């Protein structure tokens, strides 16, 4: 009887795919767990928590390196959380910028689509705007 949790179970419980769990181990985001005699990885509840933390952080758009820092912070509860705050704030700034950029994008796409008279390419507003950036109202950054 083995008390360890199999990789498939932690995957299900955490919402991180099996292959991705192994990938995280490979890049050192998750410690290599003990193995069964047959060589299978055996996890515990802590690992599920850690993976859930990672998945949620990824959903919030944090990069792996940032998550590495956040995980280190989580491991030292007595430390100041200034770093976590800084990382989250930086991400918030990014997200706001992205929303602004995408909103400009949306406006331009709508202009393109609305302007299209569904005729020939010759007079297509979509192609026209793509060809001539000068027809853009907004200056777009990376979207």
> What are the residues binding DNA (CB under 7 A)?
2, 6-9, 11, 17-20, 22-23, 35-41, 58, 63-65
Which residues lie closer than 8 Å to 46 by C-beta, 6 or more apart? none
Nearest-angstrom CA–CA distance, 10 and 84:
26
Bridge partners for 41 per DSSP: 35
What is the C-alpha to C-alpha distance for residues 25 and 7, in angstroms, rounded to an integer? 12
Which of the listed partners (a copy of itself, DNA, none) does 133 bind, with a CB threshold of 5 to 8 Å by partner kind? Answer: a copy of itself
Q: Is 27 in the site for a copy of itself (CB under 8 A)?
A: no
The two tokens of residue 111 are: 């202009």
- The residue (of 72 and 123) whose beta carbon lies closer to DNA is 72
- Residue 46 main-chain phi, psi, to 5 deg: -55, -40
Q: Is residue 73 part of the contact set for a copy of itself (CB under 8 A)? A: yes
48 binds a copy of itself (CB under 8 A): no
Q: How many CB atoms lie within 10 A of CB 21?
A: 23
Residues that bind a copy of itself (CB under 8 A): 49, 52-53, 55-57, 59-61, 70, 73-74, 76-82, 84-85, 87-89, 91-92, 95-96, 98-99, 102-103, 105-106, 108-110, 112-113, 116, 118-122, 124, 126-127, 129-133, 136, 140, 142-143
């Amino acid at each position: 009887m083995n008390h360890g949790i199999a990789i498939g179970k932690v995957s299900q419980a955490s919402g991180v795919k099996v292959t991705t769990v192994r990938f995280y181990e490979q890049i050192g985001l998750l410690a290599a767990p003990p193995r069964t005699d047959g060589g299978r990885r055996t996890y515990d509840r802590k690992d599920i928590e850690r993976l859930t933390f990672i998945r949620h952080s990824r959903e919030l758009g944090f990069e792996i390196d940032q998550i590495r820092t956040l995980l280190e912070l989580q491991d030292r509860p007595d430390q100041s959380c200034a770093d976590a705050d800084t990382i989250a704030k930086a991400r918030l700034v990014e997200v706001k910028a992205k929303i602004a950029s995408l909103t400009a994008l949306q406006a331009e796409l709508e202009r393109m689509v609305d302007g299209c008279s569904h005729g020939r390419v010759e007079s297509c507003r979509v192609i026209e705007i793509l060809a001539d950036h000068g027809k853009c109202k907004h200056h777009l950054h990376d979207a």
